Chain A
Amino acid sequence: MKIYLKVLCFSIILNTTVSSDEKIDTTTIIGNYTRIATENYKDTITDAINLEKAINNFANNPTEKNLIKSKKSWVNARESYGESEIFRLSNGPIDAEQGWVAKAYGSLEGQINAWPLDENMIDYTLDADGKKTSGNIIDTKGIFDPGGEESRAINVDTITIESITALNENGGDANVATGYHAIEFLLWGQDQDYSNFMKDGITNGAMKAGERPLSDFTTDPHAQRRLSYLKVAASKLVSDLKKVASGWSLDISDNCAIDAKGCYRGAINHKLTGVDAKKNITQKVVLRQILSGMGIFIKSEVANERIAVAVLTPSEEDEPSCFSDNTHRDIASAYQGFKNVLTGNYKGLQGKSFLDQVDIKTKDKIAKLMHTIEEKIDSIDKVATTKAHFDYQIRPDHPQARVIVKLKNKMRKLGDIMLVVAKQNGIDLTSDDVTN
C-alpha cells in the first residue's frame, strides 16, 4: 500500500510548479518525461525480481507463509507496474504495434499484462454447476491445444518459458498464459460470483479474494506443475520487463538495428546519430503521441474499459484483478502514473512538465478535478481494505457504486482536458484523439 499516501499531496505539487508565464523548453519537458519512465521501469523490474525471488522460495518450500509472501510480493509489484501503464498507447516500447519500435521491443504488453484472461486454459476452475473443469495446461500431458481461431498445439510435458510464450494468445486474444494475471490466478485461484450477483451462491465473500488451497501446491497430483508454472511465468515477466525497459536505457546503442538499447529514449529526445538519426522522432509527433496517449489512457482505458464496464455490467469478471481483489490498487496506481507524467513528479522528485505550460485558470480546474478524483479513489481504497472489495462495491445496491460512477465521469473530464493541455503545449488534438 505504499502509494496510498501519495495521492494526498497533489496540492503541494501544484504549488511548487513554475508559474505559467515562464514558458519552458519542450526539450526539457520531454527529458523529464523520459526520466520518469526510466525510473518507473527500474522500480518495476526491482519489484518483479522480488516477486520472482518470493515465488522461487515458495517453490522450494511451499508453505502457507511463503504463499502469503508471494502474494504480498505480487501486490507490491503491481504498484510500480500500474504507474508505468501511462507509457502505453503512446507508440512506445511497451506496446507500439508497428514500425521499428514494435520490432525492437517486441510489443510485449500482451505478454506482460494481458487481461482479461481465460483462466480455464491455465488451471482448473469450478464451473457454474460446481464441477471442476479439466483439459488445461496444468493437467495436460503431451500436446495441449488452446483452441480458438487457428490455434497451434504445443507440447506441455514440461512447462517452460518457450511453451507458455507459445501458448500466449495462441488461438485468440483471450488465451492468456503469461504475465501478471496468469501468476495472479495461480497464486489466488478463482474468486467468482455467478449470474452477475443476482443469484449469489459461490462467491467467497465481501472481504475475501480467491482462496486457492495450499494443497494445490503440496499434495495435489499437479502440485509440482503449478510450482513450475509459477517459476517460469515469474522469470519470463522479469525478462519481458527488462526488454521493455531497455528502450528507456540511459546507455544508447550506437546501432539500433543490432541492439536497440536506449534507442527509444534517444529517438524521442532527438539524440540518435549516424545510421540511426532517421529514427529520431520530431517533437510535435512525440508530444502528440504522449498527450493523446494520456487522454486515451485515463478516459477510454481506465474510466471506460476498466471502471465503467465493471460497474455497469456489473460483474466480477470485469474487474482487472479479479483473483486477488486488488482492483482498487489497479485504479489508484494507474491514476498515479497519469499524475506523475502530467505533473512531472516521480516519487517526490520534481521536474518540468506539461502542466507548467498551462495557464493558471486551467491549472486550477485540473487541480480541482484531480482533487475530486483522489477523494473518490481514496474512498474506494478505504472501503476495499475495511468493508468490501471492489467486486462488492460495484454491486448496484452498494453505496460505493455511486462513488465509482462519479469517479469514472471525472476521469473522462480529465481525459478531455488533455486537449487544452495539448493546445498550450503547442499541439492541436481533437476530442477523437483522446477517445478510443
Chain B
Amino acid sequence: MKQRYKSLLTTSAFFVGSAFLNAADLQTPISSLNDSQIDTFVLGKSFFRVPWVEAPSATTARDGLGPLFSSNTCISCHPKNGKGSVYNNKGHIDRSLVTRLSIKSSKRVDRKIGFIPEPTYGSQLSINSVHGVPYEGKPTRSYINKTVLLSENRKITLRKPIYGITNLGYGALSKDAILSQRVPPALIGLGLLEQISDSQLLDSEDIEDKDGDGISGKANRVYSPETSAIEIGRYNWKANASKVKHQVAGAMSSDMGLTSPLYPTENCTYNQKECLSSPKGRDIFDVPTRRLDAVSFYLKHLKVPTVVQDKHYKDGLKIFKQIACASCHIPTFTLDSGKIIHPFSDLLLHDMGRDLADGRVEFQATGSEFRTPPLWGISIYKQILKDRVNFLHDGRARTIEEAILWHSGEAKQAKESFMKLPQQKQKVLIDFLERL
C-alpha cells in the first residue's frame, strides 16, 4: 500500500504574488546539499511519507507494520512536518494524539526506557492493529473549564483535559496506570538542535536554583540505544531522546510497530498473545540501518523558516525578555560552526506546576517536569492546522495566550507578569509569538 504523489506536491504556494511563509517551508531541504545528499534526503522523505503495510505483503520494502500500531505513515501525525492535532477535521480524536502509558514508579525505572510500562498495554496505546490481533483501545477526553482573570478585567476560559481510554482490547488497565496524552511536536530544526553542544545546554542548568530566580532547569540524562551510553536528552516533551535517529527509531517502534536496529523487537507485551504470534516481515528489521539513517538525514536537513526581524519582532522580543519568558525559551544559540539559530528553548526540563503535570516519569524528568518546547515555526504550523492549532504537550491550549496561562511552577512568575501587562502589551507579545 502506497501513497501517491499528488499529496506530496502542493500547488498552494502561488495563490498570491506576495511573499509569505508557506507550509512547504517545513518540507524543503537546506540549500547546501550536493547530489548524493539530496538522494539520501529524497529517500528519507519517501520513507517518511509512504504508508507501511502489514506483513507478509506484496510490497516488501514497506511491510512490517504493527502488529500493534497507531498510524501507517510518519507524515500522518506530523502534517506537512508541522504539529499533530487533538481532533481531526471531522471533530473526532485525531490519530496523531498519542496516549503514553506507564505505572507509578517511585522506585527504580527501567534503565533503557526511563519508566515502567503498563504491564499489559506497554508504553503506548495502539489504536490500530493488523488482521487477527485486537487493537488496544481508543483515547477519549473530556474537559473541566477554569476561568482566569487578566488585567483590565479580561476573562479567559481554559479547559483542562481529563484523559481516558475506551474499547480496551486486553482487559482492565493496571490500577496504578498513568495516562499521558501527547500531541506530536512540529519537526523544525531537529538537526540544528542536535548541534547545540552538551556544554552549552549544561551552562543553563541550575538544578538547585543557586541563582535564586525561581527557575532551575535540568538536562535529562537518557539511555541511548545507539551508543548504549547515557546522553543528554534533547527531543520530545520530556527530552527522552538524545539524537534524531534515536527519536525516529523510537517513534517508528511505538507509533507504527516497525522494528529497526535500535528497537529490534516488536512492541507486544507478554500478555498480548495474538500480537506475539502474528506474522512478521521477511527481513530482520522492518527498517534497516540505511533507511533509518535516510529518514533521520531527511529530518535533520529540513530548512528552518526564517523570521523577518522587523519592528513587530523587536517590540515583542523586548517584552518576552522583560517578563522572563526568555529565561527558559532562550531565543538564540551560536553553534560551534558559528551558525546562529533561534529555537526559543533551552531544551531543559522545568517543573510546570500541578495543572500541567501528567505524573509520568521519564528518566530524570519527574511527573510535573517538561522540556521547554522550542517556539520556532509556530506561524507555519498554525497555518497548516488552521482552526485545529493547539499548544502544550496534550494540545489543551487553543491559543498561545491559553498556553501562557497554563504555565506554572517555575514559570509561575513569568505567567503572572504576563497577566498583569496592559492588554495592549499582551497583544504585542502574542503577535510576536504568532509570527515566529
Contacts and interface: CB of A to CB of B under 8 A. Distances in A.
Interface of A: 88-91, 95-99, 109-110, 114-121, 125-129, 133, 148-150, 172-176, 190, 192, 194-196, 282, 284-285, 288-289, 292-293, 296, 300-301, 304-306, 308-309, 312-313, 315, 317-318, 405, 409, 412, 431-433, 435-436
A114 B6 contact: yes
A109 B17 CA distance: 25
A436 B1 contact: no
Given A120-B58, A436-B27, A149 B12 contact: no
Interface string B114-144: 0000000000000000000000000000000
A173 B49 CA distance: 11
Contact of A285 (B14, B27, B29, B283): B14
Given A97-B12, A292-B14, A409-B35, A435 B28 contact: yes
Contact of B28 (A120, A293, A436): A436
- The 4 A-B pairs of least Cβ separation, nearest first, read A116-B2, A118-B1, A128-B56, A315-B61
Contacts of B53: 118
A305 B8 contact: yes
Contacts of A116: 2-4
B282 interface: yes
Nearest to B5: A305
Contact of B13 (A95, A172, A292): A292
Given A285-B16, A285-B17, A309-B42, 13 more contacts: A116-B3, A118-B1, A150-B92, A173-B4, A174-B4, A195-B60, A288-B17, A301-B9, A308-B38, A312-B42, A318-B46, A409-B35, A435-B29
A293 B11 contact: yes
B11 A96 contact: yes
Given A129-B56, A313-B43, A317-B62, A109 B10 contact: no
Given A194-B282, A432-B25, A436-B27, A309 B46 contact: yes
A431 B31 contact: yes
B61 A313 contact: yes
Contacts of A115: 4-5
B11 A118 contact: no
Contacts of A126: 58
Contacts of A88: 9, 11
B46 A192 contact: no
A304 B46 CA distance: 10
Contact of B43 (A174, A308, A432, A436): A308
Contacts of A121: 1
A133 B56 CA distance: 10
A172 B56 CA distance: 20
A315 B50 CA distance: 13
Interface string B89-117: 01010010000000000000000000000
Contact of B57 (A128, A173, A175, A313): A128
B2 A436 contact: no
A23 B36 CA distance: 39
Interface in B40-65: 42-43, 46, 51, 53, 55-63
B7 interface: yes
Contacts of A174: 1-4, 51
18 contacts: A95-B11, A120-B58, A125-B58, A127-B58, A128-B57, A128-B58, A148-B72, A173-B3, A173-B6, A174-B1, A284-B17, A300-B9, A308-B39, A308-B42, A309-B42, A309-B43, A313-B43, A432-B28
A317 B10 contact: no
Contacts of A98: 12, 15
Contacts of A309: 42-43, 46
B88 to A, nearest CB: 8
A120 B1 CA distance: 8
A306 B3 CA distance: 12
A315 B361 CA distance: 42
B63 to A, nearest CB: 8
Given A89-B9, A89-B11, A412 B35 contact: yes
Contacts of B5: 115, 301, 305-306
Nearest to A196: B61
Nearest to B288: A196
A91 B4 contact: no
B39 A312 contact: yes
B398 interface: no
Contacts of B14: 91, 285, 288-289, 292
B2 A150 contact: no
A150 B90 contact: yes
Nearest to A192: B58
A308 B40 CA distance: 9
Given A89-B9, A149-B95, A436-B24, A194 B60 contact: yes
Contact of A128 (B38, B90, B282): B282
B155 to A, nearest CB: 37
B78 interface: no
A317 B47 CA distance: 13
Contacts of B51: 172-174
A126 B60 CA distance: 12
A133 B59 CA distance: 13
A391 to B, nearest CB: 13
Contacts of B283: 195
A90 B13 CA distance: 9
Contacts of B8: 305, 436
Contacts of A305: 5, 8-9, 42, 46
Contacts of B90: 150
A157 B178 CA distance: 48
B4 A117 contact: yes
B159 interface: no
B303 interface: yes
A110 B282 contact: no
Contacts of B31: 431
B112 to A, nearest CB: 30
A140 B82 CA distance: 39
A27 B29 CA distance: 34
A150 B57 CA distance: 22
A409 to B, nearest CB: 5
Contacts of A313: 43, 46, 61
Contacts of B95: 149
A110 B8 CA distance: 12
A300 B14 CA distance: 17
Contacts of A301: 5, 9
Nearest to A313: B61
A317 B59 contact: yes
Contacts of A431: 31
B38 A109 contact: no
Nearest to A118: B1
B13 A127 contact: no
Given A109-B6, A194-B282, A195-B283, A432 B42 contact: no
Contacts of A405: 39
Contacts of B6: 95, 109-110, 114, 173
A315 to B, nearest CB: 4
Contacts of B17: 282, 284-285, 288
A181 to B, nearest CB: 9
A301 B38 CA distance: 13
Given A127-B58, A196-B60, A313-B61, A176 B4 contact: yes
Interface in B397-427: none
